[in-house]
């Protein structure tokens, strides 16, 4: 009984407090919108003509980030905005859109690069399960980062007007979340992939001839190529240079907790945008050649095996090294690197 009385007493006290709070809220004067001049006065003290003259001359500043001082009117921020909106965004749209247009026109005029001879049916292992898994994981992350990055850069000019502010707000929030979390994973796997295929992408003397013949479009014979041809090597070294700038600049933006100044973040943002757009533009060509543009290329990365005819036509020097191991794999055998397969892998 004593415990029950204590509980009732506590409930009465809580109710009394809530009642007083409601009454106080009702008696309080209605809230009014804050006046801009009052907010400025609280933030920077006395605001008069002298204050604004100091702001304009750079004498009046606020300390808004670690080890950095910025004017109330920040000229570097306005410069960054203008460079991004008036130069980087239009140039990127022209580059990516132009590459898409070129590839469509090229496909309609030239068509697919078909095999010159019939397939022999004898297969050669080109990519192991581990290598294909690494390639497809990096490729998937790259596409996800490209689409979300393009949405962050251009999406507001398209989707916001089509679907409205609510849809756009959720879409941009999701894009930013995917971009921020997928970026570091892509960076790690990119370094692993570059280390994995470094040796087969070292420049060789015959690579120059490959360029002179346009990869086989100039002349009546296919140029010599090892495991990787000269075009694939260019893509590799572009990833090893421009791609690493994308990764490093992205990490600076992704983790703003290591004392970066606002100026550092602005520069990182511009480097990240320019290098990402370069990679996306060239990647369109890489994707085209590996899918619609070349017969048998996608088949090799999907199954791990390529036909003997394909190997002889596109990578003849590599084919000469591995032709003794050409054979038809059994349907029940998984495409893994066994003793026979590893015998013809590049050293």
Which sign does the torsion angle of CA 46, 47, 53, 57 carry?
positive
Q: Report which secondary-structure segment, H or E, holds 62.
A: strand 61-65
**Fold exhibited by the domain 91-342:** Fumarate Reductase Cytochrome B subunit (1.20.950)
- Distance CA(156)–CA(168), nearest Å, equals 7
Confidence category of residue 77, pLDDT binned at 50, 70, 90: confident
Beta-carbon contacts of 144 under 8 Å, excluding residues fewer than 6 positions away, are 178, 182
- Distance CA(336)–CA(308), nearest Å, equals 18
**Domains of the chain, residue spans:** 91-342
- Distance CA(239)–CA(189), nearest Å, equals 12
- pLDDT for 79 equals 86
CB contact at 8 A, 165 and 173:
no
Could you tell me the maximum CA-CA distance found in the chain, to the nearest angstrom?
A: 104
Whether residue 25 has pLDDT greater than 50? no
- 3-12, 69-78, 249-258, 334-343: least confident range: 334-343
- pLDDT for 324 equals 76
Averaged over 290-306, what is the pLDDT? 94
Averaged over 56-83, what is the pLDDT? 65
Give the pLDDT confidence of 171-213 residue by residue, as tens digits: 999 999 999 999 999 999 999 999 999 999 999 999 999 999 9
Whether residue 248 has pLDDT greater than 60? yes
Whether residue 253 has pLDDT greater than 80? yes
Give the pLDDT confidence of 145-179 residue by residue, as tens digits: 999 999 999 998 888 889 998 998 999 999 999 99
- pLDDT for 214 equals 86
φ, ψ of residue 28 in degrees (nearest 5): -70, 150
CB contact at 8 A, 250 and 274:
no
Percent of the chain with pLDDT over 90: 59
| Two tokens, residue 239 | 């990833």
Q: How far apart are the first and last CA of the chain?
A: 87
Confidence category of residue 323, pLDDT binned at 50, 70, 90: confident
Helix extents (H) in the chain: 2-27, 36-44, 49-57, 75-83, 89-109, 129-154, 159-163, 165-196, 206-212, 230-238, 244-254, 262-290, 297-303, 308-314, 316-322, 339-342
Give the pLDDT confidence of 80-107 residue by residue, as tens digits: 889 999 999 999 999 999 999 999 999 9
- pLDDT for 78 equals 82
pLDDT top residue among 283 and 325: 283
pLDDT top residue among 33 and 324: 324
- pLDDT for 35 equals 53
- pLDDT for 62 equals 53
- pLDDT for 107 equals 94
Averaged over 278-304, what is the pLDDT? 95
What is each CA distance from 101 to 54, 60, 96, 232, 266, in whole angstroms?
A: 52, 51, 9, 22, 32
CB contact at 8 A, 47 and 38:
no
């Amino acid at each position: 009984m004593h415990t029950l009385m204590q509980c009732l007493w506590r409930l009465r006290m809580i109710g009394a407090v809530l009642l007083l709070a409601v009454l106080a809220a009702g008696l309080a004067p209605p809230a009014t919108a804050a006046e801009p001049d009052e907010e400025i006065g609280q933030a920077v003290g006395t605001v008069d003509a002298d204050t604004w003259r100091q702001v304009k001359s750079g004498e009046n500043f606020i300390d808004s980030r670690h080890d950095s001082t910025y004017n109330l009117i920040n000229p570097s921020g306005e410069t960054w905005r203008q460079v991004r909106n008036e130069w980087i965004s239009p140039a990127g749209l022209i580059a990516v859109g132009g590459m898409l247009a070129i590839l469509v026109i090229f496909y309609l005029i030239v068509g697919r690069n078909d095999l010159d001879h019939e397939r022999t049916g004898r297969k050669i292992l080109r990519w192991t399960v581990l290598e294909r898994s690494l390639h497809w994981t990096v490729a998937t992350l790259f596409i996800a980062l490209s689409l979300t990055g393009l949405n962050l850069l251009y999406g507001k000019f398209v989707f916001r007007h089509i679907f409205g502010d609510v849809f756009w707000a959720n879409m941009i929030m999701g894009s930013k979340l995917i971009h921020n979390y997928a970026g570091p994973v892509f960076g790690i796997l990119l370094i692993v992939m570059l280390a994995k295929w470094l040796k087969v992408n070292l420049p060789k003397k015959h690579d120059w001839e490959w360029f002179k013949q346009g990869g086989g479009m100039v002349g009546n014979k296919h140029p010599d190529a090892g495991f990787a041809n000269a075009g694939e090597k260019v893509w590799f070294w572009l990833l090893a240079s421009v791609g690493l700038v994308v990764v490093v600049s992205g990490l600076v933006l992704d983790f703003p907790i290591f004392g970066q100044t606002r100026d550092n973040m602005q520069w990182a943002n511009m480097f990240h945008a320019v290098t990402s757009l370069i990679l996306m533009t060239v990647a369109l060509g890489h994707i085209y050649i590996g899918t619609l543009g070349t017969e048998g290329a996608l088949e090799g990365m999907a199954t791990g095996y390529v036909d003997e005819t394909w190997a002889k036509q596109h990578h003849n020097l590599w084919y000469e090294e591995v032709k003794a191991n050409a054979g038809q794999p059994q349907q029940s055998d998984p495409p893994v690197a066994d003793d026979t397969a590893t015998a013809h892998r590049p050293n």
